[in-house]
Amino acid sequence: MMFSALFKINSLKRLVALLCCIVFSACYWAETEENPDYLPMDDSMYPYAGLPRLVIEIENFAGLRDRETEFPSKLQIYGEKSPESEVLELTVRGRGNSSFKMPKYGMKLEFKDKVELFGMPKNRDWALIANYGDKTHLRNYMMTRLSEWLGARYTPRMQFVELYLNRKYMGLYLLSETVKVAKNRVHIEENDTTFLVEKEDVKKYDPPYVITDNKNIYHIRSPKNPPEESLELLQNHLNEFEKFLKNRYLYEDEEILNWIDLEDYLLYYWVQEYSKNEDGNYARSVFFTWTKGKPIHFGPLWDFDLSFGNASRTQNQNPEDWYIREYRLNYYIVNNPVVDSAVAVYWKEHREIFKELIDSIPVYRSIIERAIENEYRRWPIMSNTENWALKDPYDSYDEAVETMASWMRKRFEWIDEEIQSSEFENRN
């Protein structure tokens, strides 16, 4: 009898609790629908980690199926306890090449109006970089530090954030400026004889593009709708440039200065070579600008998740050996005696900056320390090696970061010894 009474009491308590939850939820969602001033966010499982939170809701809670379909969406920035922005209108689509196929993927954001985000200049176009293939989440961010320290003409600004998409926690992301022509981004003239170009992968054909005689594919980022005459102008120039590089013994060594801006190339080369960036071997995500009658300016730098020892190919993982200078057009550029001599001088003059990047790792790590706990609660992949970009298993985040730092120290020492060696000094 007593057991039966207790059972009835407990059942009644559970029923009351359930009804309370239902009433609370009904009121909550009614308030949400009637109050467009905020988007809901439940951070009970993933508490505030010291970073801004982006809350995005796609119309009808649609999933991102591809990189082309743009979905009407709303976005709001949250601080620790409350929203810190109004609800902003935008479109969202998938972004990335092979990275878009990963469980945690990147996104392209295009706001209805220009917005200033976290002190970065106003613009409509932004990217969310997932960094799923980089278990430290630091490599792309470190590239921006090094690029800025070396004085690049433009380096995409980035901000660590945590993302909630369609009321689900998606993890730690880098909110980044996109590479585009604008006053506060790639600042060049917008006309039919000035170009922002991206060297594409052989499997990717994003129009508008040109293909050179050597089968290199170049996607034209600006002008957006180039006339046929502009396409022909760029294609002819790149054909002549590649022809010059492959037949350099027919020309004076100094003539290369008519084709490339040397200082821009040296910065581009050394960030790629120091990090041993797998995509930086003139394969893809290599940007440059060119204006008719002027030399090519390499940059801005972009896409460094497969760098600093995090290579998808085993032969590229060791910190020794030259890499960038051995591949494609870089091989011909660096083997020009004028460039090769300048390469050595540049390292000697800037070696302390490269070393400083290693010393700064604890600072960058501290920015995301708490968010990393949320990230790997959501995506427990630290020991995972199933994805093509997740080559190395780690027992902890500490191990992942220290492995990268150790690789960087060895890389710095190897390069330093090579540049100082008599063989390097005298080979030209």
pLDDT score of 418 more than 90: yes
pLDDT score of 3 more than 80: no
> Which of the four pLDDT bands, split at 50, 70 and 90, describes residue 362?
very high
Tokens describing residue 361: 């790792």
What percentage of the chain carries pLDDT values higher than 70? Answer: 89
Q: Please tell me the predicted confidence (pLDDT) of residue 66.
A: 82
Q: Average of pLDDT values for 135-155?
A: 98
Q: Average of pLDDT values for 333-362?
A: 97
Is the preceding omega at residue 40 within 30 degrees of 0, hence cis? no
Q: Please tell me the predicted confidence (pLDDT) of residue 10.
A: 47
What integer best gives the mean pLDDT of the chain? 90
Q: Please tell me the predicted confidence (pLDDT) of residue 397.
A: 98
Q: Average of pLDDT values for 154-175?
A: 98
Q: pLDDT per residue over 95-115, tens digit each?
A: 977 667 789 999 999 999 999
Q: pLDDT per residue over 55-94, tens digit each?
A: 999 999 999 878 889 999 999 999 999 999 999 999 999 9
Q: pLDDT per residue over 233-258, tens digit each?
A: 999 999 999 999 999 888 999 999 99
Residues 144/150/154/157 CA torsion (nearest 10 deg): 20
Q: Average of pLDDT values for 11-19?
A: 46
What is the SS3 string spanning 394-408?
A: CCCHHHHHHHHHHHH
Q: Please tell me the predicted confidence (pLDDT) of residue 31.
A: 41
Residue 157 CA to residue 354 CA, distance in Å, equals 19
Q: Please tell me the predicted confidence (pLDDT) of residue 7.
A: 38
> Which of the four pLDDT bands, split at 50, 70 and 90, describes residue 423?
low
Tokens describing residue 327: 């591949």
State the number of CA atoms in the 13 A half-sphere of 133 facing the CB.
25
pLDDT score of 24 more than 60: no
> Which of the four pLDDT bands, split at 50, 70 and 90, describes residue 35?
low
One-letter amino acid of 269: Y
> Which of the four pLDDT bands, split at 50, 70 and 90, describes residue 367?
very high
Provide the strand spans (E) within 151-206: 158-165, 168-177, 194-199
SS3 161: strand
Q: Average of pLDDT values for 305-330?
A: 92
pLDDT score of 18 more than 90: no
One-letter amino acid of 45: M
pLDDT score of 351 more than 70: yes
* pTM recorded for the entire structure: 0.89
DSSP string, 276-325: T-GGGTTTSSEEEEEETTS-BEE------SS-TT--SSGGG-SS-S--GG
DSSP string, 9-24: HHHHHHHHHHHHHHHH
pLDDT score of 25 more than 70: no
Q: Is the dihedral of CA 371, 373, 374, 380 positive or negative?
A: positive
pLDDT score of 34 more than 80: no
Tokens describing residue 158: 């980035």
Is residue 352 within 8 A of residue 105, CB to CB? The reply is no
> Which of the four pLDDT bands, split at 50, 70 and 90, describes residue 203?
confident
Q: Which residue has the higher pLDDT, 167 or 392?
A: 167
Q: pLDDT per residue over 36-52, tens digit each?
A: 678 999 999 999 999 99
